[in-house]
Amino acid sequence: MPSSWPARALADAAPTVFWLDDPARPQPLASLRGPESADLLVVGGGYTGLWAALRAKERDPSRDVVLVEAGHCGDQASGRNGGFASASLTHGFANGRERWPSELAELDRLGAENLRAIGETVRRHGIDCRWEETGELTVATAAHNSPSSGISTSTSRLVRSTPDG
Is the separation of the CB atoms in 129 and 19 below 8 Å?
yes
Is the separation of the CB atoms in 56 and 40 below 8 Å?
yes
pLDDT score for 136: 76
* Domain residue ranges in the chain: 1-83
* CB count in 10 Å sphere of residue 38: 12
DSSP string, 74-118: T-SGGGGS-S---S-SSSSHHHHHHH-TTTHHHHHHHHHHHHHHH
pLDDT in tens, 66-125: 999 998 888 888 777 767 788 889 988 888 989 999 999 999 999 999 999 989 999 999
pLDDT in tens, 25-60: 888 888 888 999 999 999 999 888 998 999 999 999
pLDDT band at 134 (very low <50, low <70, confident <90, very high): confident
Residues with Cβ within 8 Å of residue 107, at least 6 apart in sequence: 89, 90, 96, 100
- What single-letter DSSP state applies at residue 26? P
